[in-house]
A and B are shown apart, each in its own frame.
Chain A
Amino acid sequence: MNPVGAAAAALEFTRVSCSFPDRTKRGRSYAAVRQATLRVRDGEFVALVGPTGCGKSTLLNVAAGLLVPTEGEIRAYGAPLAGINRNAGYLFQPDSLFPWRSALENVAAGLEFRGTRRSDARERAQAWLARVGLEAHAAKYPHELSGGMRKRVALAQIWILQPRVLLMDEPFSALDVQTRQLMENELLSLWADNRASVLFVTHDLEEAIALADRVVVLAAGPESRPIAEFAVDLPRPRDVAEIGLQPRFIDLHRQVWQTLKAEVLAAHARARI
């Protein structure tokens, strides 16, 4: 694509601010994010953690091109972002599958939208469904699948397009603990194959450390921004179910939590007012 693309960051937020009209006070605006600066290098897995309501999803929407920042700049592989980020795949927190399409048709959707012939798209979708272990459920509609299965379909739906950037908004927070760990391992094994750049939003610190190369802590909202970051030097491949027992993991967890705790308490205090 871009000749300088390899050197440039996959995502680069420069002093990004996002304000929304305040619903309670007319004429006033509410700044969810203020002066946020953040880089995601090519092939890097970055986790954003922060207390609830701190503008994590706002930053993801900016990176996706779904939301234009009020101030500041967002670049993707060196080029300022205009419109939807074509390099990016977005895994949403709520169910995002098309309810009127079967699992197979859902996975094939992106290819069809981008002009691949329907029969080719379906064939490749079948392979991707097999990849996430759902080949037997190709004809089922989303409401006939379990929550974990729907997330798998959503993963395949995004991964079939081989995005260079992955944006994930607490994708597994609605799943039970066991399914969640399976999905996290699934994500890591998919990621090991194509090494996309990932921006993964979560409020779960353990998930962040287990998955990411770097954990970025956001301040409590409003006017949130990144305030600290920690490199995660745990070896890969990792097993999410067992990594929590390693001394280095516990050590990192303690370090990050020191910073995060203050923000969580601040968010709590603000919510009480």
Chain B
Amino acid sequence: MRERGSDGARGQPRRPMWPWHLALLIAVLGAWHGLTRSGVLPPFFFGQPLAVAQRIAEWFGSGKIFPHLGVTLLETVLAFAIGTVLGLVVGLWLALSPFASRLLNPYITAVNSMPRVILAPIFAVWFGLGIGSKVMLGVTLVFFIVFFSVYNGVREVSPVVLNNARMLGAGRRQLLRHVYLPSATAWVFSSLHASVGMAFVGAVVGEYLGSSRGVGYLILQAEGVFDIDTVLAGIAVLTACALILDRVVSIAERRLLRWRPGSSAEHF
């Protein structure tokens, strides 16, 4: 019962793609290595894959990276959680209250079109150079993604399902809890991949603009002394983290949205 059809279930089984993915990665890294080794590209500006790998191994070997990585991930998770809850609550509220929605509409559009990364220095002044300002930046990025998908999602709740719930005896609060909320949750999940990424961007950009800890801080330090290998190592670590977070989201989505037709199977 539990297993749902993956590729094998429908039609011909597809050949696994990962050997090709790996081959492409090796080819690119190999080309990079060859070009910088032979001096066609100056290693000073372009770094060298082996030096980058060495730096990453050193970070993890000595454990030096963990406090930094921990801070960055903590900021990401906090920004993501706070932004999602706020987006969900405000999205539900505005979708169900036409007056509030019409009152706030122009302001929401304005704040959303503003390049919010610019707020980072202001947040640094308001919330200090600790994790507070990074979390806030992430929250402003995550909030709007979740808000808009919940807002539109609630307005698209099937009127038939809504009427059915009313006929079955649901009052206002029960409609909220049993119809609007589950339906909005589905929309939150549809925006989850984007919002996790945004929380991560908020954390790293915040660190990059001023901090004393975090992977963004490591990258900033290395740039200060033109240590391209370390910069690239930081970027590689961040990318790996982002991929892992995305995976976690996919797994959570698959478990929580089992009711949705064709959910998640098509995702990357």
* Neighbouring A residues of B166 by C-beta, 8 Å: 66, 84
Q: Is the Cβ of A139 less than 8 Å from the Cβ of B182?
A: no
B42, chain A: closest CB distance, angstroms: 57
19 contacting pairs across A/B (C-beta < 8 A): A64-B163, A66-B163, A66-B166, A66-B167, A84-B166, A86-B169, A96-B164, A97-B164, A98-B161, A98-B164, A98-B165, A99-B261, A101-B259, A110-B169, A113-B169, A113-B171, A114-B168, A143-B259, A143-B261
| 0 or 1 for each of A83-98: is its CB under 8 Å from B? (1 = yes) | 0101011101011111
* Neighbouring B residues of A102 by C-beta, 8 Å: 259
B206, chain A: closest CB distance, angstroms: 36
A126-B161 Cα distance, complex, nearest whole Å: 22
B164, chain A: closest CB distance, angstroms: 4
Is B258 part of the binding interface, using a Cβ–Cβ cutoff of 8 Å?
A: yes
Q: Is the Cβ of B259 less than 8 Å from the Cβ of A141?
A: yes
| 0 or 1 for each of B73-94: is its CB under 8 Å from A? (1 = yes) | 0000000000000000000000
The interface on chain B, measured as residues whose beta carbon lies within 8 A of the other chain's beta carbons, has a size of 22
A99-B158 Cα distance, complex, nearest whole Å: 10
Q: Is the Cβ of B259 less than 8 Å from the Cβ of A84?
A: no
Q: List the interface of chain B (C-beta within 8 A of A).
A: 1, 160-161, 163-171, 174, 178-179, 182-183, 186, 258-261
The interface on chain A, measured as residues whose beta carbon lies within 8 A of the other chain's beta carbons, has a size of 28
Q: Which of B160, B165, B174, B179 contacts A94 (CB 8 A)?
A: B160
Q: Is the Cβ of A96 less than 8 Å from the Cβ of B160?
A: yes
* Neighbouring B residues of A100 by C-beta, 8 Å: 182-183, 186, 259-260
Q: Is the Cβ of B1 less than 8 Å from the Cβ of A90?
A: no
Is A211 part of the binding interface, using a Cβ–Cβ cutoff of 8 Å?
A: no
Is A252 part of the binding interface, using a Cβ–Cβ cutoff of 8 Å?
A: no
* Neighbouring B residues of A40 by C-beta, 8 Å: none
A97-B165 Cα distance, complex, nearest whole Å: 9
Q: Is the Cβ of B259 less than 8 Å from the Cβ of A113?
A: no
* Neighbouring A residues of B170 by C-beta, 8 Å: 113
* Neighbouring A residues of B1 by C-beta, 8 Å: 139
Interface majority SS (helix, strand, loop, mixed), chain B: helix
A139-B258 Cα distance, complex, nearest whole Å: 11
A41-B179 Cα distance, complex, nearest whole Å: 34
* Neighbouring A residues of B178 by C-beta, 8 Å: 98, 109, 113
A95-B183 Cα distance, complex, nearest whole Å: 15
Q: Is the Cβ of B164 less than 8 Å from the Cβ of A92?
A: yes
Q: Which of B163, B183, B259 contacts A96 (CB 8 A)?
A: B163
A97-B166 Cα distance, complex, nearest whole Å: 12
Q: Which of B163, B168, B183 contacts A113 (CB 8 A)?
A: B168
A167-B160 Cα distance, complex, nearest whole Å: 14
Is A161 part of the binding interface, using a Cβ–Cβ cutoff of 8 Å?
A: yes
A108-B260 Cα distance, complex, nearest whole Å: 20
A84-B166 Cα distance, complex, nearest whole Å: 7
Q: Is the Cβ of B174 less than 8 Å from the Cβ of A113?
A: yes
Q: Is the Cβ of A84 less than 8 Å from the Cβ of B258?
A: no
* Neighbouring A residues of B259 by C-beta, 8 Å: 99-102, 141-143
Asked, given contacts A100-B182, A113-B178, whether A161 binds B260 with beta carbons under 8 Å apart, the answer is no
A142-B1 Cα distance, complex, nearest whole Å: 15
**Shortest Cβ distance from A93 into B: residue:** B160
A88-B178 Cα distance, complex, nearest whole Å: 20
* Neighbouring B residues of A161 by C-beta, 8 Å: 168-169
| 0 or 1 for each of A139-180: is its CB under 8 Å from B? (1 = yes) | 101110000000000000110010000000000000000000
**Shortest Cβ distance from A157 into B: residue:** B168
A142-B158 Cα distance, complex, nearest whole Å: 15
Q: Which of B160, B163, B179 contacts A95 (CB 8 A)?
A: B160
* Neighbouring B residues of A109 by C-beta, 8 Å: 165, 168, 178
